[in-house]
A and B are shown apart, each in its own frame.
Chain A
Amino acid sequence: MVGLSVGEKHFIQGGIAQDLRSDGRKRLTYRPIYVETGVIPQAHGSARVRLGATDVIASVKAELGKPSALQSDKGKIAIYVDCSPTAAPVFEGRGGEELSTELSIALQRCLLGGKSGAGAGIDPSSLVVVEGKVCWDLYIDGLVISSDGNLLDALAAAIKAALSNTGIPKVDLAAETTGDEQPEVNISDEEFLQFDTSGIPVIVTLTRVGRHYIVDATSEEESQMSSAVSISVNRKGHICGLTKRGGAGLDPSIILDMISVAKHVSEQLTIKLDSEIAAAEASEEES
Chain B
Amino acid sequence: MAAKPGSVPTTYPPNPGPKTRPPIFKDNDLDWVRPDGRGFHQCRPAFFRTGAVNSASGSAYAEFGNTKVIVSVFGPRESKKAMMYSDTGRLNCNVSYTTFATPVRGQGSDHKEFSSMLHKSLEGAIMLETFPKTTVDVFALVLESGGSDLPVVISCASLALADAGIMMYDLVAAVSVSCLGKNLVIDPILEEESYQDGSLMLTCMPSRYEVTQLTFTGEWSTPDINEAMQLCLDACDKLGKVMRSCLKEAASASQE
- Name which residue of chain A comes closest to B116, CB basis: A102
| 18 residue pairs bridging A and B, Cβ less than 8 Å apart | A98-B116, A101-B113, A105-B110, A114-B199, A114-B219, A119-B219, A227-B124, A238-B220, A239-B225, A240-B219, A240-B220, A244-B213, A246-B119, A246-B123, A247-B123, A247-B124, A251-B209, A259-B225
* Interface residue ranges, A against B (CB under 8 Å): 1, 70, 98, 101-102, 105, 109, 113-116, 118-119, 227, 229, 234, 238-252, 255-256, 259-260
A119, B198: Cβ atoms closer than 8 Å: yes
Could you tell me which residues of chain B, from 85 to 130, have a CB within 8 Å of some CB in chain A?
110, 112-113, 116, 119-120, 123-125
CB distance from B204 to the nearest CB of A (A): 7
The complex places the Cα of A250 from the Cα of B216 at a distance, in Å, of 16
Could you tell me which residues of chain B, from 211 to 236, have a CB within 8 Å of some CB in chain A?
211-222, 225-226, 229, 233
Chain A residues with Cβ below 8 Å from B195 are 115-116
A245, B199: Cβ atoms closer than 8 Å: no
B210 beta carbon closer than 8 Å to chain A = yes
- Name which residue of chain B comes closest to A253, CB basis: B209
The complex places the Cα of A203 from the Cα of B216 at a distance, in Å, of 13
Most buried by A among B119, B215, B219, B225: B219
Give per-residue flags for B10-41: 1 if the beta carbon is below 8 A from chain A beta carbons, else 0.
00000000000100000000000000000000
Chain A residues with Cβ below 8 Å from B116 are 98, 101-102, 105
Most buried by A among B124, B195, B196, B217: B217
Chain A residues with Cβ below 8 Å from B209 are 251-252
Most buried by A among B123, B194, B213: B213
CB distance from B212 to the nearest CB of A (A): 5
Chain A interface, DSSP helix/strand/loop, else mixed: mixed
Could you tell me which residues of chain B, from 171 to 223, have a CB within 8 Å of some CB in chain A?
179, 193-199, 204-205, 208-222
A243, B210: Cβ atoms closer than 8 Å: no
The complex places the Cα of A70 from the Cα of B197 at a distance, in Å, of 16
Chain A residues with Cβ below 8 Å from B112 are 101, 105
Give 9 closest A-B pairs by Cβ, nearest first. Answer: A119-B219, A114-B218, A249-B210, A118-B197, A242-B216, A246-B120, A119-B218, A114-B198, A249-B124
Chain A residues with Cβ below 8 Å from B220 are 119, 238-240
B contacts with A, residue count (CB < 8 A)? 41
- Name which residue of chain A comes closest to B199, CB basis: A114
In the complex, which of the residues B84, B197, B204, B217 contacts A249, with contact meaning CB atoms closer than 8 Å? B204
Chain A residues with Cβ below 8 Å from B229 are 252, 255-256
Q: Given A115-B193, A118-B198, A244-B120, A249 and B125 touching (CB < 8 A)?
A: yes
Q: Given A249-B124, A251-B211, A256-B226, A116 and B196 touching (CB < 8 A)?
A: yes
Chain B residues with Cβ below 8 Å from A239 are 216, 219-222, 225
Chain B residues with Cβ below 8 Å from A114 are 179, 196-199, 217-219
B221, A238: Cβ atoms closer than 8 Å: yes
- Name which residue of chain B comes closest to A117, CB basis: B197
- Name which residue of chain A comes closest to B216, CB basis: A242
The complex places the Cα of A249 from the Cα of B169 at a distance, in Å, of 10
Chain B residues with Cβ below 8 Å from A242 are 214-216
Chain B residues with Cβ below 8 Å from A241 are 215-218
B211, A115: Cβ atoms closer than 8 Å: no
CB distance from B200 to the nearest CB of A (A): 8
The complex places the Cα of A118 from the Cα of B25 at a distance, in Å, of 15
4 further interface pairs, Cβ-Cβ under 8 Å (given A105-B113, A115-B195, A252-B233): A114-B196, A118-B197, A246-B120, A252-B209
CB distance from B175 to the nearest CB of A (A): 13
Most buried by A among B196, B215, B225: B215
A113, B204: Cβ atoms closer than 8 Å: no
A250, B210: Cβ atoms closer than 8 Å: yes
Chain B residues with Cβ below 8 Å from A102 are 116
The complex places the Cα of A109 from the Cα of B211 at a distance, in Å, of 19
Chain B residues with Cβ below 8 Å from A256 are 225-226, 229
In the complex, which of the residues A70, A238, A243, A246 contacts B124, with contact meaning CB atoms closer than 8 Å? A246
The complex places the Cα of A256 from the Cα of B200 at a distance, in Å, of 14
A234, B120: Cβ atoms closer than 8 Å: no
The complex places the Cα of A102 from the Cα of B116 at a distance, in Å, of 7
Chain A residues with Cβ below 8 Å from B226 are 256
Could you tell me which residues of chain B, from 117 to 163, have a CB within 8 Å of some CB in chain A?
119-120, 123-125
The complex places the Cα of A247 from the Cα of B210 at a distance, in Å, of 12
A255, B197: Cβ atoms closer than 8 Å: no
- Name which residue of chain B comes closest to A226, CB basis: B124
- Name which residue of chain A comes closest to B113, CB basis: A105
CB distance from A78 to the nearest CB of B (A): 12
Chain B residues with Cβ below 8 Å from A119 are 197-198, 217-220
The complex places the Cα of A234 from the Cα of B218 at a distance, in Å, of 11
B215, A249: Cβ atoms closer than 8 Å: no
- Name which residue of chain A comes closest to B232, CB basis: A252
